[in-house]
Amino acid sequence: MKLIDLHAHSTFSDGSLDPAMLIDLAERRGLAALALTDHDTVAGVPHFLAHAANKSIRVIGGIEISAWYDRESLHILGYGLDHTDRRLNDTLSELQRARHQRNLDILDKLNELGIDLSYDDLETQENSQIGRPHLARALIRRGMVRDSHEAFNRLLRQGAPAYVEGRWIHAIDAIRLITAAGGAPVLAHPALMDASLNALATLLPELRRVGLIGLEVHYPTHSRKQRQCLLQLAAEHRMIATGGTDFHDNSDNGIPLGGSCRSIRVPYSCYQELVDYLENGRPAR
């Protein structure tokens, strides 16, 4: 079975590998296809595409946009979009400013809790966006938590003492933004939403109407039952199914880039259907 991964992050957002290193790792892992989907930025896409130019692996430049719908936080993946699109980049600049302010607010809350942490403590590479994973790593380096799981559970997740709600764009605007830039919008990890999959079924018609073309069915924390339900929803709404590991670094829950027989394996057909949409402008179903 050909391994693919359509959901991976680099140092341009909160991953630990730069785009070139991601591609090199994918090659060593024997992946046939890989997509770069950094949070709220396409700054890494030119580097990603350039490094892949003389490689055998097939790649897709993309993004993962933080959004909301009816007070629900969700993420929209965008594949194959024009990373130079002016409207896209103007909107992403606004999102990055909001993310920066959120980080400052989280640091203020941590300081109020007696945790002495500043922006200077957050180690990032040049051009990298700072997010909660960077805060978690700083807490680990300071010996305040054992690992990222503890950092999020104790301090950074929704409902925790240092959590700050993000100020994102509406999901419909995110979908339209991706579509206008020539991309394919896909709902990321739907089973992680607070709403049930039954509630998702009532939400999909509107998202489909404004341009959503797929669901990320194959995801590490999705159960077999959830995957079956999502596959059925995708078929009912004539949408494609995609999948990926949401890869950030080699220690992420033991799930390697491209998955494994113990976690997930994303069918190569997901890549084929996505490419068919990007080339022909319609889902393959």
Q: Over 245-275, what HEC string results?
A: CCECCCCCCCCCCCCCCCCCCCCHHHHHHHH
Q: How many residues does the chain have?
A: 285
Q: What is the pLDDT of residue 128?
A: 66
What value does the mean pLDDT take over residues 232-256?
87
Whole-angstrom distance between the N-terminal and C-terminal Cα of the chain?
Answer: 22
Please give the domain boundaries of the chain with CATH numbers for all domains.
Answer: 3-84+171-280 (3.20.20.140), 93-156 (1.10.150)
Q: What is the pLDDT of residue 266?
A: 94
Task: Look at 5-14, 62-71, 103-112, 115-124 and tell me which has the smallest mean pLDDT.
Answer: 115-124
Tell me the C-alpha distance between 44 and 110, whole Å.
30
pLDDT over threshold 50, residue 233: yes
Tell me the C-alpha distance between 192 and 97, whole Å.
26
What residues have CB less than 8 Å from 186, skipping those under 6 apart?
76, 77, 78, 79, 212, 213, 214, 215, 216, 240, 242
What value does the mean pLDDT take over residues 149-154?
92
pLDDT over threshold 70, residue 274: yes
Strands 58-69 and 72-79: antiparallel
Of residues 220 and 70, more confidently modeled: 220
What value does the mean pLDDT take over residues 168-173?
95
189 φ/ψ sector (left φ>0, alpha ψ -120 to 50, else beta)? left
Mean of pLDDT over the chain: 91
Contact yes or no for 272/220 (Cβ under 8 A):
no
- Token pair of 190 as six digits: 């739907």
**pTM for the full predicted model:** 0.90
Q: What is the pLDDT of residue 264?
A: 86
Separation in Å, CA 148 to CA 105, 132, 183: 19, 10, 32
pLDDT over threshold 50, residue 285: no
State pLDDT tens for residues 84-108: 999 999 999 999 999 889 999 999 9
What value does the mean pLDDT take over residues 219-243?
94
State pLDDT tens for residues 12-29: 998 889 999 999 999 999
